[in-house]
């Protein structure tokens, strides 16, 4: 009869508690993950490339969705979000149930006597007051979640920039390959002209050998640049989440390469201080540093509360059934306890915990200050790089035009028997160098433009618009939007 009572009263309760635990864990009852955005609707899904060549926007979308860095940052933010749930759980009571079965015997002169005992307990415990310890731990978790969400934004911008760099690197090396092939063709023509003149007896063997050397050197340069092009393709495939050997077809670059309104306006330098102030409010890495600083402040309060009293409430029924031979007995009882725990001495451990938390606060403050200085330096450098790249584009265009004209004139003069082979080879070398400089200037311009946007904290899809310009600076009086996880108010 006793076992029937235990089975009827306690076993169903234990099964309900055991079944409820995973049910509460699965649907996120506190809603802590609602503030953590996934990098795309299906993160981690296989990369599927269509037949159409990829535009820059397509490459960036694929990278943000399938690059492991974005998924790792998302997972890290979800870890911190669920730790907020752990801190929220401290405001709810704990309910525990237990069942026990024991069998004992006593040996005596009269023989062995067996006894059996079955027990069942249900207990509820609740922390009523702890001088703000739970609130401090919850605030610490919330701020660490804010830092993780801001780190997600940092990772997105990093992957965005990596995808943009890989996209333009493929185009740059492809253009460099075409330029190297053109230089090789020109060197071949010079070699044929020198060989024809040598056979006609109007050129020395030295002219022929010099032209052949230049031709072989241009062939070697073309082979090396083709290898760089293959490496750039592998890097691009990796950035969008593919193996390096997977082929990726890119759409050609739009023409003209640089639009008229997409550079840095002249008044940018006059507003540079305002731009730096705005960047310090918009940069997600600075937002993460600020959140870590606030988390360190909360950690001090949490450490202090560990040395203060705690008031706990506990209650629960218990049941015991004992079989001793033919005798049976049962006992039902209950308890209600209010306990005040006062820590008196812990070997100075709590004092050192507080000092360690204060040192971590100083460390996070110094890291935040260092990052704020770094932001000003990044804005200054990237602005200078973009201005230099913009000026280099026009100079490279002038250099290429003059080098092309010089190469045509010197080759024509040599074929007409007026010039010498050294002038031809020097002109062709200058033309090949001018082509490479124009390609490099265009690549540097695109990268410097994106780097400045990242330094200002405005690196997003708007950068891909042809009319994008750094004319509308963000208002430094408007703080950056930072996601705050939803949470229940503490009692």
What the block records as the tokens of 36 is 């953590």
Residue 486: pLDDT above 80?
no
**Cα–chain-centroid distance for residue 52?**
28
Residues facing 335 on adjacent strands: 316
pLDDT band at 26 (very low <50, low <70, confident <90, very high): low
Residue 49 lies in a domain: no
Q: What is the pLDDT of residue 487?
A: 38
Residue 125 lies in a domain: no
Q: What is the pLDDT of residue 79?
A: 96
13/144 Cα distance (integer angstroms): 37
Residue 301 lies in a domain: yes
Q: pTM to 2 decimals?
A: 0.82
Residue 393: pLDDT above 90?
no
Residue 14: pLDDT above 70?
no
Contact predicate 218/190, CB 8 Å: no
pLDDT band at 204 (very low <50, low <70, confident <90, very high): confident
Residue 372 is inside which H or E element, if any?
helix 349-415
The percent of residues in the chain predicted with pLDDT above 90, rounded, is 45
Q: What is the pLDDT of residue 253?
A: 80
Domain residues for the domain of 257 are: 55-93+130-308+347-464
Q: What is the pLDDT of residue 295?
A: 96
Residue 382: pLDDT above 50?
yes
CATH of the domain at 365: 1.20.1600.10
Q: Is residue 469 left, alpha or beta, with left meaning phi > 0 and alpha meaning psi from -120 to 50?
A: beta
pLDDT band at 483 (very low <50, low <70, confident <90, very high): very low
Task: Write out pLDDT tens, residues 150-160.
Answer: 999 999 999 99
Residue 287: pLDDT above 90?
yes
In our burial notation (b when 16+ CB lie closer than 10 A, e otherwise), range 118-133 reads: bbbbbbeeebeebbbb
402/438 Cα distance (integer angstroms): 13
Residue 396: pLDDT above 60?
yes
Residues facing 118 on adjacent strands: 101, 321
23/21 Cα distance (integer angstroms): 5
List, edge to edge, every strand of the sheet that includes 310-324: 94-108, 111-129, 310-324, 327-341
Contact predicate 123/91, CB 8 Å: no
Q: What is the pLDDT of residue 3?
A: 39
Nearest-CA neighbor of 265 among 473, 476, 466? 473
pLDDT band at 42 (very low <50, low <70, confident <90, very high): confident
Residue 304 lies in a domain: yes
Residue 72 lies in a domain: yes
Mean pLDDT taken over the chain: 83
Please give the tally of structural domains in the chain. Answer: 1
Distances, alpha carbon 461 to alpha carbons 236, 453, 456, 458, 465, in Å: 18, 11, 14, 9, 8
**Cα–chain-centroid distance for residue 63?**
11
Burial of 291: CB neighbours in 10 Å, binned 0-12, 13-18, 19+: buried
Residue 186 lies in a domain: yes
Residues facing 322 on adjacent strands: 117, 329
Residue 27 lies in a domain: no
Burial of 359: CB neighbours in 10 Å, binned 0-12, 13-18, 19+: exposed
Q: What is the pLDDT of residue 297?
A: 96
Task: Write out pLDDT tens, residues 414-468.
Answer: 778 777 788 888 888 888 888 888 888 888 888 998 999 999 998 888 887 766 6
Q: What is the pLDDT of residue 13?
A: 47
Contact predicate 164/56, CB 8 Å: yes
Q: Report, as an integer, the average pLDDT of 74-101.
A: 94
Residue 330 lies in a domain: no
Q: What is the pLDDT of residue 481?
A: 40
Residue 412: pLDDT above 90?
no
């Amino acid at each position: 009869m006793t076992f029937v009572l235990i089975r009827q009263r306690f076993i169903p309760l234990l099964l309900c508690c055991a079944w409820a635990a995973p049910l509460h864990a699965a649907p996120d009852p506190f809603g802590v993950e609602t503030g953590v955005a996934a990098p795309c609707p299906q993160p981690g899904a296989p990369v599927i490339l269509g037949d159409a060549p990829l535009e820059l926007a397509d490459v960036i979308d694929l990278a943000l969705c399938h690059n492991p860095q974005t998924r790792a940052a998302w997972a890290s933010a979800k870890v911190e979000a669920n730790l907020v749930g752990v801190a929220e759980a401290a405001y709810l009571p704990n309910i525990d149930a237990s069942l026990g079965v024991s069998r004992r015997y006593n040996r005596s002169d009269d023989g062995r006597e067996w006894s059996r005992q079955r027990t069942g307990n249900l207990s509820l415990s609740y922390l009523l007051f702890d001088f703000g310890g739970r609130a401090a731990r919850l605030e610490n978790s919330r701020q660490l979640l804010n830092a993780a969400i801001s780190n997600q934004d940092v990772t997105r911008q990093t992957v965005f920039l990596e995808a943009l760099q890989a996209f333009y690197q493929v185009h740059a090396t492809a253009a460099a390959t075409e330029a190297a092939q053109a230089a090789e063709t020109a060197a071949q023509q010079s070699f044929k002209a020198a060989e024809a003149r040598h056979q006609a007896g109007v050129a020395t063997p030295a002219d022929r050998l010099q032209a052949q050397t230049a031709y072989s050197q241009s062939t070697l340069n073309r082979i090396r640049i083709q290898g760089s092009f293959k490496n750039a393709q592998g890097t691009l495939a990796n950035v969008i989440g593919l193996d390096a050997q997977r082929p990726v077809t890119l759409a050609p670059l739009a023409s003209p390469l640089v639009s008229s309104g997409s550079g840095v306006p002249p008044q940018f330098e006059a507003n540079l201080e305002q731009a730096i102030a705005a960047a310090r409010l918009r940069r997600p890495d600075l937002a993460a540093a600020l959140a870590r600083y606030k988390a360190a402040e909360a950690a001090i309060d949490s450490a202090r509360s560990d040395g203060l009293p705690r008031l706990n409430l506990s209650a629960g029924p218990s049941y015991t059934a004992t079989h001793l031979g033919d005798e049976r007995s049962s006992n039902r009882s209950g308890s209600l306890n209010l306990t005040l725990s006062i820590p008196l001495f812990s070997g100075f451990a709590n004092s050192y915990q507080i000092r360690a938390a204060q040192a971590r606060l100083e460390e996070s403050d110094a890291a935040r200050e260092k990052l704020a200085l770094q932001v000003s330096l990044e804005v200054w450098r990237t602005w200078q790089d973009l201005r230099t790249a913009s000026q280099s584009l026009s100079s490279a265009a002038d250099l290429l035009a003059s080098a092309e004209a010089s190469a045509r004139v010197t080759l024509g003069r040599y074929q007409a028997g007026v010039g010498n082979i050294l002038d031809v080879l020097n002109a062709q070398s200058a033309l090949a160098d001018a082509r490479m400089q124009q390609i490099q200037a265009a690549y540097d311009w695109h990268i410097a433009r994106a780097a400045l946007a990242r330094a200002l904290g405005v690196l997003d899809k708007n950068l891909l618009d042809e009319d994008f310009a750094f004319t509308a600076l963000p208002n430094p009086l408007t703080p950056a939007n930072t996601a705050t996880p939803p949470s229940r108010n503490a009692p």
